[in-house]
């Protein structure tokens, strides 16, 4: 890893000074085409706002399926709204006029052309880039008296369902929302709430995983049933059970399904500490555990698998000095795509985590970095 010998300071100084090689503009838009000074790879800086701009959460999809547009969230108007940028020309259009956008709730729908997002208690979809919007469901009306809604971001593979969570009558409820009918079809109650990360199995919408609270994985004196990282809501049976529990000495974080919903991926980290860290997976039934990549030194943070299952892209959570990794699942080999060098430590409030997402075609990776002092959106062409 020759790239690891170069300092983060050098890379940051080169880009901040504008000395990175700029490629010919592909239109009159704001996209800056740069070269990563350590890997030589082309990197596109999509935004350069004074206000925070960021890509979607790592488990979601920011690209339309034709790779023409990227959707991102920005507070440039004073409140978070969604924008679409045409990657060829750089032309940018504001998509939403939300009152209370849940700014990490958005994702491109499996139809490949609409973005779905949560505005207060209302779930909306907007065509990209046409801007025609439609309210899919008012969750407050579907669940009277409920509060603390979360919805969207993951879907069944046919795009018909998405998971919804809310608090009602003192209990936390996980539900399956029919996007076509605009109604809740199945629910299950969770004792003690959840830690978020609701994920619908693309191959079976009746299966929804979520993170258990409180997180007791690090307490190696507890029985295994207390140390589950991920719970599974089986909406057919109306039951909730532990789904992912690490062996003693380890913890799991940042899980996701592959596109088929056949395998469930997660990060395994050493306790105490963080490394060695691995990206692992298991079958939907909990069998056939596999380790796909391990690093003895890199603090693997968030990753995502390509739609065709050929590769994984992962960020690293070492503050101010973090590479973006490409991992070939057939060979187990890996390379550094670029160095986002995000601060990481500023967390979600400043959108300082990299959160890489892969386009459906596998041709692009989007991520967020605040290396310039404010979070901005970047794309790496593959």
CA-to-CA dists, residue 104 to 197, 218, 348, 353, angstroms? 11, 27, 9, 12
Q: What are the tens digits of pLDDT across the range 227-256?
A: 999 999 999 999 999 999 999 999 999 999
Residues 231, 245: Cα–Cα separation, whole Å? 9
Q: What are the tens digits of pLDDT across the range 84-100?
A: 999 999 999 999 999 99
When pLDDT is averaged across residues 144-169 and rounded to a whole number, the result is: 95
Reported confidence tier of residue 16, pLDDT bands at 50, 70, 90: very low
Residues 125, 146: Cα–Cα separation, whole Å? 22
> Model pTM?
0.91
Sign of torsion, CA 301 356 156 278? negative
- Identify the pLDDT of residue 130: 85
- Identify the pLDDT of residue 142: 97
CB atoms within 10 A of CB 33: 18
371 with 343: CB under 8 angstroms? yes
Reported confidence tier of residue 191, pLDDT bands at 50, 70, 90: confident
Nearest to 104 by CA among 179, 54, 34, 145: 54
pLDDT of residue 315 exceeding 90, the answer is yes
354 with 324: CB under 8 angstroms? yes
| C-alpha 344: how far from chain center | 15
Q: Which residue has the tokens 């029985």?
A: 223
| C-alpha 156: how far from chain center | 16
Q: What angle do CA 35, 85, 363 make, to 5 degrees?
A: 55
Reported confidence tier of residue 4, pLDDT bands at 50, 70, 90: very low
Tokens of 243: 């789904």
114 with 125: CB under 8 angstroms? yes
235 with 207: CB under 8 angstroms? yes
- Identify the pLDDT of residue 359: 98
pLDDT > 70: what percent of the chain? 92
- Identify the pLDDT of residue 58: 97
Mean pLDDT of the chain: 91
CA-to-CA dists, residue 126 to 114, 153, 181, angstroms? 5, 14, 17
Residues 218, 290: Cα–Cα separation, whole Å? 22
Nearest to 200 by CA among 254, 161, 167: 161
- Identify the pLDDT of residue 224: 95
């Amino acid at each position: 890893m020759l790239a690891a010998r170069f300092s983060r300071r050098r890379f940051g100084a080169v880009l901040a000074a504008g000395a990175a090689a700029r490629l010919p503009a592909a239109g009159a838009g704001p996209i800056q085409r740069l070269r990563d000074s350590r890997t030589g790879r082309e990197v596109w800086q999509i935004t350069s706002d004074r206000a925070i701009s960021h890509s979607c959460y790592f488990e979601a999809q920011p690209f339309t399926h034709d790779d023409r547009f990227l959707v991102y969230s920005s507070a440039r108007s004073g409140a978070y709204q969604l924008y679409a940028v045409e990657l060829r020309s750089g032309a940018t259009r504001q998509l939403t006029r939300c009152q209370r956008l849940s700014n990490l709730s958005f994702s491109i729908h499996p139809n490949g052309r609409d973005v779905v997002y949560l505005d207060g208690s209302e779930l909306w979809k907007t065509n990209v880039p046409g801007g025609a919007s439609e309210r899919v469901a008012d969750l407050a009306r579907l669940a009277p008296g409920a509060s603390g809604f979360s919805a969207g971001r993951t879907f069944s593979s046919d795009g018909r369902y998405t998971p919804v969570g809310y608090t009602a009558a003192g209990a936390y409820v996980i539900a399956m929302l029919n996007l076509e009918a605009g109604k809740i079809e199945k629910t299950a109650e969770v004792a003690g709430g959840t830690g978020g990360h609701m994920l619908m199995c693309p191959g079976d919408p009746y299966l929804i995983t979520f993170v258990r609270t409180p997180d007791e994985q690090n307490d190696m004196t507890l029985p295994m049933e207390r140390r589950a990282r991920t719970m599974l809501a089986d909406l057919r049976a109306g039951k909730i059970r532990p789904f992912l529990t690490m062996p003693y000495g380890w913890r799991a974080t940042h899980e996701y399904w592959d596109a088929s919903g056949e395998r469930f991926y997660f990060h395994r980290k050493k306790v105490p500490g963080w490394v060695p860290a691995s990206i692992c997976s298991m079958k939907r039934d909990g069998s056939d555990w596999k380790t796909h990549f391990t690093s003895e030194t890199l603090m693997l943070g968030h990753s995502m698998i390509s739609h065709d299952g050929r590769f994984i892209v992962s960020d690293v959570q070492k503050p101010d000095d973090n590479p973006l990794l490409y991992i070939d699942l057939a060979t187990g080999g890996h390379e550094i795509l670029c160095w986002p060098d995000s601060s990481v430590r500023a967390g979600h409030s400043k959108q300082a985590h990299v959160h890489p997402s892969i386009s459906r075609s596998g041709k692009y990776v989007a991520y967020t970095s605040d290396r310039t002092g404010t979070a901005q959106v970047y794309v790496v062409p593959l």
